[in-house]
Amino acid sequence: MAESNLIQRLSGDERIELFRAVRESVGIPYFRVMESATAPIVQVEGADKIMLGSNNYLGLADHPAIRKGAQDALDRFGAAVTGSRLLNGTIDLHLELEAEIAAWHDTEDAIVFTTGYQTNLGTISAVVGPGDRVVVDAAAHASIRDGCSLSGADVRRFAHNDVAELEKVLQEPLDGDGAVLVIVDGLYSMEGDLAPLGAISAVCQRHGAALMVDEAHSLGVFGARRTGVAELFGIDTATDIRMASLSKSPSSTGGFIAGSRDLLDSLRVNASAFLFTTSGVPAAIGASLAAVRLIRSEEGAQRAQRALDNAAMLRNGLAHSGLDVSALSPLPAGGETVTPIVAVHIGDDLAAMDMWRQLFDRGVFTSAALYPAVPRSGALLRLCVMASHTDAQLNRAIEVIAETVTQAAA
Ligand code: PMP
């Protein structure tokens, strides 16, 4: 009998080797165990840490109104729905949430998937296929790239935020009558920079391409209604497919698409990742609904502003200490903005992990982003603020991060 080489060949994988080398030296920055709710201070493995590694931008994860939304749904519907949306897994809260999202985005319709990852996977693979072309930013999220691969469409990449290169790709002729879909993130989760959506939308319109924007990290923060970067750039109505996750600012789990009724009905019958998976648990849907309502309220506006003020404080404090932090992003009406994600550029993977460990030991929890999440030699420490961080917490984090990174470079 011939022996399979399946497991054997994994041993040469570069990423496994790196993972092991680091685990044996400084300890890995991943899979750490959180022992309390996501909040500005979190208990991790027996000690308090200032949490700068979560996507809880508005600080809603432990908010009483969101907890109540989850609790009420749990009390009414129990722990699980035990079925797909198609069969027995739709509860009235799903429909309420979808109606709320559509009204918020001012679109004809919206649908909620179980996770953001599945939203991208299911949507992209349902709307484009063989004969079509999908054009994605090189830094687009893994769920977008995986959705593209699954679709069977001709996949093209353009350099991150390079609109001239995007236009060149759009000029390339496509055989037959296939459609072209351009997909970008509104706010990129590694560098913390915004997509130049005004220019991207204009290029798409010039070439008859549809546009999909993933607002996973920008929902709740940008735009007067806080629907994201497309709204900030005034191109929300020109965006054909508006996607966001419910797991970051809304502090639940799930994802959604907002758009035209034709688009949404097509997903209802064609998106495998919508049809053939169990729908979100009631507590997640109840939490999402409460969070969306809060984000739309005056309190939501105040929290969004506070998140940006906190980001400015963190970024400026680190820049002032001489650290190489992420650039500001240009705004449509001129000027520049911070985003709730501040990257500190380190370069070398092992150096970044060593710094991560020192920060962890000194009570600051960050995220180490290494290749392939970032380009080779582009390792960075990613810091995410919450609206609920206090000035004292941010000042302490600035002091510790500045000392650690400066000493490591000396
Ligand atoms: N899109 C982007 C840009 C993301 O960063 C993420 C999550 N990291 C997702 C989609 C997937 O969302 P979820 O975590 O809700 O599955």
pLDDT band (50, 70, 90) for residue 383: very high
Residues 254 and 375 in one domain: no
pLDDT band (50, 70, 90) for residue 20: confident
Residues 22 and 79 in one domain: no
Residue 9 has what pLDDT? 77
Residues 32 and 81 in one domain: no
Q: What is the CATH number of the domain that holds 352?
A: 3.90.1150.10
Residue whose entry in the numeric block shows the structure tokens 């198609």: 86
Query: Residue 246 CA: which ligand 1 atom is closest?
Result: 15
Residue whose entry in the numeric block shows the structure tokens 């020109």: 238
Mean pLDDT of the chain: 95
Residue 185 has what pLDDT? 98
Residue 236 has what pLDDT? 97
Residue 79 half-sphere exposure toward CB, CA atoms < 13 A: 0
At which of 296, 331, 353 does a domain end? 296
Residues 222 and 316 in one domain: no
| Omega before residue 372 within 30° of 0, cis | yes
Minimum CA distance residue for ligand 1 atom 13:
116
Residue 369 has what pLDDT? 93
Residue whose entry in the numeric block shows the structure tokens 């935020």: 161
Instruction: Yes or no: say if 291 and 303 are a contact pair by the CB < 8 Å rule.
Output: no
Residues 241 and 254 in one domain: yes
DSSP 238-249: G-SEEEEESSST
Residues 327 and 401 in one domain: yes
Residue 4 lies in a domain: no
Residues 137 and 184 in one domain: yes
Residue 401 has what pLDDT? 98
Residue 363 lies in a domain: yes
Say if ligand 1 is within 6 A of residue 216 CB. yes
Residue 110 lies in a domain: yes
The percent of residues above 90 in pLDDT, for the chain, comes to 87
Residue 338 lies in a domain: yes
> Is the confidence at residue 399, as pLDDT, over 70?
yes
Output the CA 119–ligand 1 centroid distance in Å: 9
Torsion of CA 272, 273, 275, 280, to 10 degrees: 180
Say if ligand 1 is within 6 A of residue 191 CB. no
> Is the confidence at residue 55, as pLDDT, over 80?
yes
Task: Indicate the DSSP class of residue 208.
Answer: T
| Six-digit token string for 153 | 């469409």
At which of 296, 325, 342 does a domain end? 296
Residues 279 and 313 in one domain: no
Say if ligand 1 is within 6 A of residue 141 CB. yes
Instruction: Yes or no: say if 398 and 317 are a contact pair by the CB < 8 Å rule.
Output: yes
Residue 268 lies in a domain: yes
Residue 3 lies in a domain: no
Residues 353 and 258 in one domain: no
The pLDDT tens digits for 342-369 are: 999 999 998 999 999 999 999 999 999 9
Residues 126 and 221 in one domain: yes
Query: Residue 185 CA: which ligand 1 atom is closest?
Result: 3
Average pLDDT value for residue range 115-141: 98
Residue 32 has what pLDDT? 86
> Is the confidence at residue 373, as pLDDT, over 90?
no
Residue 58 lies in a domain: no
Q: What is the CATH number of the domain that holds 147?
A: 3.40.640.10
Q: Residue 332 belongs to what domain range?
A: 14-51+300-409
Instruction: Yes or no: say if 229 and 249 are a contact pair by the CB < 8 Å rule.
Output: no
Beta-bridge mates of residue 336: 330
At which of 269, 296, 323 does a domain end? 296
Better pLDDT: 29 or 406: 406
pTM beyond 0.90, yes or no: yes
Better pLDDT: 29 or 86: 86
The pLDDT tens digits for 221-274 are: 999 999 999 999 999 999 999 999 999 999 999 999 999 999 999 999 999 999
Number of domains comprising the chain: 2
Average pLDDT value for residue range 107-113: 98
Average pLDDT value for residue range 92-97: 98
Instruction: Give me the phi and psi of 298, to 5 degrees please.
Output: -60, -40
Residues 107 and 74 in one domain: yes
> Is the confidence at residue 26, as pLDDT, over 70?
no
CA nearest to 184, candidates 125, 243, 238, 225: 243
pLDDT band (50, 70, 90) for residue 6: confident
Residue 286 has what pLDDT? 98
Residue 57 lies in a domain: no
> Is the confidence at residue 24, as pLDDT, over 90?
no
Choose which residue among 112, 114, 117 to substitute to test ligand 1 binding: the one with the highest number of ligand atoms within 8 A of its C-beta: 117
